[in-house]
Amino acid sequence: MNFHVMTLFPEMIEQGLSTSILGRAKEKGIIDFEAVNIRDFSADMKHHKVDDYTYGGGAGMLMQAQPIYDCYKAIEKRIEENKDCKCIDRTDDENALAENIDCKDDLDVKEARRLRVIYVTPQGAVFNQQMAADFAKEEDLVFLCGHYEGVDERVLEEIVTDYVSIGDYVLTGGELPAMVMIDAISRLVPGVLNNDESAMTESFGNGLLEYPQYSRPEEWMGKKVPGILLSGDHKKVDEWRLEQSLLRTKERRPELYEQWLIDNPPKPEKKKRRRKHNEGIL
Ligand code: ADE
């Protein structure tokens, strides 16, 4: 999976994503990211200006449409070229399939294949695990990081497919939100985490917060590890963990708990086979 970040501060993205799990995944070639400097696409050769005053007045500067659009087009071109290179390695069957898709004039097909461009903005839908899972299915994702007072609306209309926020507060720029999203998306890409299971059972994987966990020693500061976890009875441990997840979610995130109850209605109890009128009697 490839992340392409349009930004005025590429070093922030490069430094933020090159360490730890994401850095290792990049080295292994499982994910890749490029931070593209919007300033490099400025039409102002002298000062490389990318912002200007807003029409209608008001404080602050606005990021202009042209450098962002040209930056996006350069990324889009690179992605297409990369895909063409990959075509050379395709088998005949794969080529026939791809050609079939390419020839279809069907708008739905074109729409479905559209490159997703995420504008990170406090005005967007609030990011969550479901969105991360949805974005993780893409081969390429483009992020646009805003600064100053915002971005000229016309370029947003032209290129953006998703408006996404990381919460109801305002940051100084889109770089941190983009990195937050890239982290959450990357860890869902197969092979990024060593233990595939950890992405499944942890918080939100099943719509609940994760249960409490313990490691050695068995007793610390007078606090003992719950006995059930030492019992070796896996079924009981699973039941206990689900119960703890439910309790924790109900207490800390009541809205998630309510949603879980709706999504997981109690299973109807199996009807007991009715006894024939004289069965078991005498
Ligand atoms: N840019 C500034 N604040 C933001 C937020 N909360 N989410 C996404 N992008 C932002």
Q: What is the mean pLDDT of each run of 10 residues along the chain (282 residues)?
A: 98 96 96 98 96 93 97 97 75 57 51 85 97 97 94 98 98 97 97 73 84 97 98 98 97 97 90 57 42
* Cα–ligand 1 centroid distance for 145 (angstroms): 9
Whether residue 174 has its Cβ less than 6 Å from ligand 1: yes
Question: What is the residue whose two structure tokens read 């720029």?
Answer: 173
> What's the CA gap between 15 and 32, in Å, rounded?
14
Whether residue 165 has its Cβ less than 6 Å from ligand 1: yes
Judge whether 76 and 36 are in contact, CB under 8 Å.
no
Whether residue 166 has its Cβ less than 6 Å from ligand 1: yes
Whether residue 168 has its Cβ less than 6 Å from ligand 1: no
Whether residue 167 has its Cβ less than 6 Å from ligand 1: yes
pLDDT of residue 205: 78
Longest dimension (CA), the chain: 104
* Cα–ligand 1 centroid distance for 241 (angstroms): 35
Q: Which two tokens stand for residue 266?
A: 């109690």
Amino acid at 176: L
> What's the CA gap between 40 and 60, in Å, rounded?
22
Whether residue 169 has its Cβ less than 6 Å from ligand 1: yes
pLDDT of residue 269: 81
* Cα–ligand 1 centroid distance for 83 (angstroms): 32
Q: Whose CA is nearest to atom 10 of ligand 1?
A: 121
pLDDT of residue 203: 78
Burial of 117 (0-12, 13-18, 19+ CB in 10 A): buried
Write phi, then psi, for 136 (nearest 5 degrees): -65, -15
pLDDT of residue 276: 57
pLDDT of residue 281: 43
pLDDT of residue 170: 96
Q: What is the DSSP string of 160-205?
A: -SEEEESSSS--S-SHHHHHHHHHHHHTTSTTSSSSHHHHHHSTTT
Q: Whose CA is nearest to atom 9 of ligand 1?
A: 121
Whether residue 121 has its Cβ less than 6 Å from ligand 1: yes
> What's the CA gap between 115 and 20, in Å, rounded?
28
